[in-house]
Structure formats: structure tokens, C-alpha cells
Chains A and B, each alone.
Chain A
Amino acid sequence: MNWADHLIVLPVVLPLATSALIVFVDERRYRLKATISIASLLAMFVVAGALLRLAEAPRVYTIGDWPAPFGIVLVADRLAAALVLLAVVLALAASVFSLVRWQRAGPRWHALVQFQLMGLCGAFLTGDLFNLFVFFELMLAASYGLVLYGSGLGRVRAGLHYIVINLVASLFFLVGVSLIYGVAGTLNMADLALRLPALAGAERPLAQAGAAVLAVAFLVKAGMWPLGFWLPSTYAAASPPAAALLSILSKVGVYAVLRLWLLFFGDGEGGVILAWGGMATLAFAIAGVLATQDLGRLAGHSLLASSGALLAAIGLGSAAATGAALYYLVASTLGIAALFLLIELAQRARAPGADVLALTAEAFGLEGADEPEEDTGVAIPATMALLGLAFAACALLLAGLPPLPGFVGKFALLAALLAPAPVAAPVWTLLALLLLSGLASLVAMTRAGMSIFWASEERSAPRVNVLEMAPVVALLALCLALTVAADPVMRYMQEAAAALHAPHRYIDAALGRR
């Protein structure tokens, strides 16, 4: 095992070590905490970039050097590496955004972010079903903290529902895992992929039932209708940087379904349920986007729409459609994260929420830390114009209009779905729903934008710090880069999807049979 192979375990170990370190730093020294955290995230960015290169072919890390399938393995393939990079980018954006105010709104913000990142990376990289459960729980435990971060009535109320629903989903996860273990006698994903198709007689339906119960747990995270009613209210209640980071959490559910379904059952069984479930989610999200007046809920429903489109595309899926869906996944997650951050900045103009924040900071005894300072920093000239421009970019992205990658993603998705000659009825339905959801997003975003930027009574420009605007601009610039570099990114995603649909290389690598 040469040194480069150890890169695979770094996305789990580095955030864990960082968060353990930060917890011990005194809460008043928030500058030190922030410095350690951001430095670690920058290192993670480099690691994730290197992993992206390394994962051209699936790479395996055997934990404790126990051979698979007896030991636990981490497997880095293209999809996992890309999602690890996406998670790091979001964590970086949320952390930088929080530097100005939010890191002082409650205790242990940076430790929670690092812990969340660890859970996310572990869930993407693991090659073992029970290990996936453990990383899911780690990720969820951190997300409970992040949803409740900043406290307050709304967050506690939404957090209570969120925690109960996810605890029940975890029970489903355990039932599914143990059913599958009971019939197959292994928990290594690659080993399961070999054993499940070979099952015969009464054991096969039992394995299918196990997989279905497992899927319920994942689809709760992905927010598929009718399992996703908790999502918009939870995300609307969470503090903006937390919501931006959590916007990738729903994609973990989509990732787990995609990986395990294709490994266990090839393309065939159960796709219809994913396809129609995804479309129902999309329809629900369209209604939600149009009905809501609250910007946070609007972003939450947009998240549901992107989940629904992804699930439907995967369910109908050929490898080409899955590739396009993965491109859309990255683009829509970045866009929605930017929107969550932007909403707070834009709403500052309307309601001075700074008072509430100061109050909570006082409650935690953080006042008088290091040296007390007002949020000074460089105030941006023409703040409203910049905010308006960023909001317009988000609207274009969510509606799927050029030149932003929402358009490229949806176009490639529809092109892949319409390619086979006799186009089936579900594909036409999905096409109609995708276009309709674009229109609905455009209408809702235009309405919201007009009420914020044009129709406000007193035009007090919000005080926006450069450090708060930078992550939003950076996320949107990344989206623009996704359009400019659409060809290489799309090719990467297509190859990732092809590897998912023909997983023999993944299986051989994970079981150490080169």
C-alpha cells in the first residue's frame, strides 16, 4: 500500500481530528477556532481534489488491513470522490459565511461543521452496509446540532420533528440491514452484489423486502413524496449557513439509493417506483414553490424539486440519464446552497434580525470575547445591486435557463431520456413536470425578488460584509464554471454513471481481486 492510498481515509480522519481539537479550545477564542477549522477545510479541499484524480479507477482502503469481505473497506470511485469535493466546497462556503456573525450565535459551530463533514465523507466513501449506517448516524447527529444551532422556538419545534422522523428512519435502516444480512450472510456491498442475484426460492423475496425497507430509510433523507414533508420546514427553520451545508444531506439519500440499487439489482426491478415517486415529489414541490410566501420554504421546496427530478431520472434510467442527473445534482446543490445564504442577506434589509442574534450571543456568555467589535469590515458599495444580481442568478439556475448549469443539466437529462426511439409515457410525464417546475421556480423567484428588491417600503440598504458576500459569489461563480467546463464535467459524470451501471470493476476492486 503506497502513501497515495491513505488519501482515501483522510476525508474521514481529518475532520474528526479537527473537530476533536476545536472542542477543547475555549469558546471565547472563536478566532482561533475559525482559523483551525478553515485551515483544515482548505487541506480537505486539496485532499478531495487529489482524490478526484486518484479515483479514475475505484481505489480501496482496507481499514486495519483486514481483507474484504471480512474487514470494512472504504472505496473511492468517481462518484464518491466528486461528492466528497462537493461536500467540502459547501462546508467551506458555510464556514466563511459564518465568520462575520453566525459562529458567535451559539456554542461549537465549527466543531459541528467538521463533524458533519466527517459523516458526509464517510457515507460517500464506505463500502460496507453497516458502516454506512454508522456514518449516517454520525452525519445525522451533527445535523441535529446544526438544525438547532442558534436555538429559538422555531428551530426547536422543527428540530423535534426532524429528530423523531430520522430516528424512526434509522430503525427502518437497521431492519433492512439485518434482513439482508440474514439471507446473504455478508454486509460488504460488493460481496452483496455478487450474492443477492444468486439467491433462490424463499430467500429472494426476503432480500427484496430488506432492500425495500432500506430504501424507505434513504428516501426519507432524499425527501421523496410522501416521506419528505418534514424537509421544507426544517430547512427554513435552520440557520442560513447550516441550511446551506445541509442542502447536500438530502443528496446523500439519493446517492445511497443510486449506489445500492444499481449494485444489488442491476437496472431492472423497482425502477418504476423510484420514477413515479420522484415525479410525485416533483409535482408536490411545484405546488409548494408556487404556494409559499416564505423564502426559506421556497428554497426547501426547490431542494425537493431537485431530489424528485434526480430520483425520477435514476428510476427511468439509462447510464446516460444517470450521468446527466449527476451533473444536475452538483449544479442544483450549489445553487440552492447559494440561495440559502443569499436569503439571509437579502432579508436583512427588511427585518433587522441582528437584534435576535445579539441576544442569543449574550445568552451564551459570548459577549466580551477576545475584543468586542461591531460587525465592521468593508461594507460593499451598491449592496442591493449585487444582492439583486446574485438573486437573479439563483433564479436562472433553479428555473434551468441558460447560461447557468441548471439549463445544461436539464437539457442533457431530457436529451438522454428522449434518445431511445419509442418514448414511454413516464418519460413524457417527467418532461412535462421538469419544464413545469422550471416555470414554477421562475414565477416564484420573480415574485420573491420583486417584493424584496423593488417593492420594499423603506430602502435601508442592509449591512453586508465582504466575507458574507464572498461565499455566495464563489458558489455562483462555481456554477458558471460548471457551464464553461460543461464538457469535461459532463464526461466525468457520464463515466461515473457508466461505472455505476456496470459495477464489475467496483466489485473486483472492493473485494481485492485485481
Chain B
Amino acid sequence: MELIVSLGIGVLAGSGVWLLLRPRTFQVIIGLSLASYAVNLFIFFMGWVREGAAPIVVPGAPVDPARFADPLPQALVLTAIVIGFATTALLLVVLLAARGLTGTDHVDGQEQ
């Protein structure tokens, strides 16, 4: 399980970084999305990889923290997803504006 998760995060982050360094704005935005998926998974699994454990404690019952997943990283990752989503949407608008104003999709607004 740990191996699969870390490989998944690594592949996503690697592809994201590769695309981020490409010269086309569309590649950059896809790269950013992939990198943020990697980071979101990374936050999620910082609360330890655990299968079949709920983050919700049953009221009244005796609580053994080892049997529950940590709810905090889940809350954090939710916030991170929302913020990342909003800022990526903003970037998309700027990207379209740049395409319209410069007539090219190169990140510097002109071909080499």
C-alpha cells in the first residue's frame, strides 16, 4: 500500500514538474493541476496510510485512537483542493487573456 501510494505521488509530481517547465501555457496549467494532485495526495497520506478506518468517533463508545483515521489531514486536503481549484480557474482566465492579447500560447507571450 505504501509503495503504491508513494509511486503514485512520485509519478504525478514528476509529470507535473515536467509539464510546468514546458513553453506552452496549456502544458503549464495541466502541469500545475497534476502537481497539485500529487501534493493533495501527499497531505492526505501524511495522516498515515490506513485501510478501512473511519475518521468519525462514535459518541458514548470507548475511543481507541489507533482504530481511527486522523480527520485533520482530510480537512486540510479539502481546503487545499478548494483553494487550488479557485486559483487554477483564475489562471485559466489570465491564460485566455494572454492568448487573446499576444496571439500566441507561449508563456512569454512571444516565440523565441
A interface residues, Cβ below 8 angstroms from B: 130, 133-134, 137, 140-141, 144, 148, 151, 153, 156-157, 159-161, 163-164, 167-168, 170-171, 174-175, 177-179, 181-182, 187
* B76 near A130: Cβ-Cβ < 8 Å: yes
- Which chain B residue shows the least CB distance to A151? B97
Beyond A167-B88, A177-B43, A181-B73, 14 additional contacts (C-beta under 8 Å) are A144-B87, A144-B94, A148-B94, A156-B101, A156-B109, A160-B109, A163-B90, A164-B20, A164-B32, A164-B91, A167-B32, A167-B36, A178-B46, A178-B73
B53-80: contact bitstring with A at CB < 8 Å (1 yes, 0 no)?
Answer: 0000000000000000000110010011
B78-112: contact bitstring with A at CB < 8 Å (1 yes, 0 no)?
Answer: 01100110111011001101100110000111000
- Which chain B residue shows the least CB distance to A148? B94
* A144 near B90: Cβ-Cβ < 8 Å: yes
* B102 near A157: Cβ-Cβ < 8 Å: yes
Interface centre among A153, A161, A182 (most CB of B within 10 A): A182
- Which chain A residue shows the least CB distance to B87? A167
* B28 near A157: Cβ-Cβ < 8 Å: no
C-alpha gap A465/B13 in the complex (Å):
52
* In the complex with contacts A163-B90, A164-B32, A175-B39, A181-B109 CB distance below 8 A: no
Task: Determine the chain B residues whose CB is within 8 A of the CB of A130 once the complex forms.
Answer: 76, 79
Q: Which of A134, A140, A159, A161 contacts B79 (CB 8 A)?
A: A134
Tell me the chain B residues, 9-45 only, with Cβ under 8 Å from chain A: 20, 25, 28, 32, 35-36, 39-40, 42-43
Task: Determine the chain A residues whose CB is within 8 A of the CB of B83 once the complex forms.
Answer: 134, 137, 170
C-alpha gap A5/B58 in the complex (Å):
36
* B76 near A153: Cβ-Cβ < 8 Å: no
Task: Determine the chain B residues whose CB is within 8 A of the CB of A134 once the complex forms.
Answer: 79, 83
Interface secondary structure of A, over-half rule: helix
Rounded to whole Å, the gap between the CB of B106 and the closest CB of chain A is 10
Task: Determine the chain A residues whose CB is within 8 A of the CB of B42 once the complex forms.
Answer: 174-175, 178
Task: Determine the chain A residues whose CB is within 8 A of the CB of B40 once the complex forms.
Answer: 174
- Which chain B residue shows the least CB distance to A210? B46
Q: Which of B84, B86, B97 contacts A156 (CB 8 A)?
A: B97
Rounded to whole Å, the gap between the CB of A371 and the closest CB of chain B is 31
* In the complex with contacts A168-B35, A174-B43, A163-B91 CB distance below 8 A: yes
Task: Determine the chain B residues whose CB is within 8 A of the CB of A178 once the complex forms.
Answer: 42-43, 46, 73, 76
* B39 near A171: Cβ-Cβ < 8 Å: yes
Interface centre among A144, A153, A168 (most CB of B within 10 A): A168
- Which chain B residue shows the least CB distance to A159? B94
- Which chain B residue shows the least CB distance to A179? B46
Q: Which of A148, A161, A170, A187 contacts B87 (CB 8 A)?
A: A170
* A160 near B107: Cβ-Cβ < 8 Å: yes
C-alpha gap A130/B97 in the complex (Å):
32
* A157 near B73: Cβ-Cβ < 8 Å: no
* A141 near B86: Cβ-Cβ < 8 Å: yes
* B94 near A156: Cβ-Cβ < 8 Å: yes
C-alpha gap A113/B82 in the complex (Å):
23
* In the complex with contacts A141-B90, A167-B88, A160-B25 CB distance below 8 A: yes
* A160 near B94: Cβ-Cβ < 8 Å: yes
* B80 near A174: Cβ-Cβ < 8 Å: yes
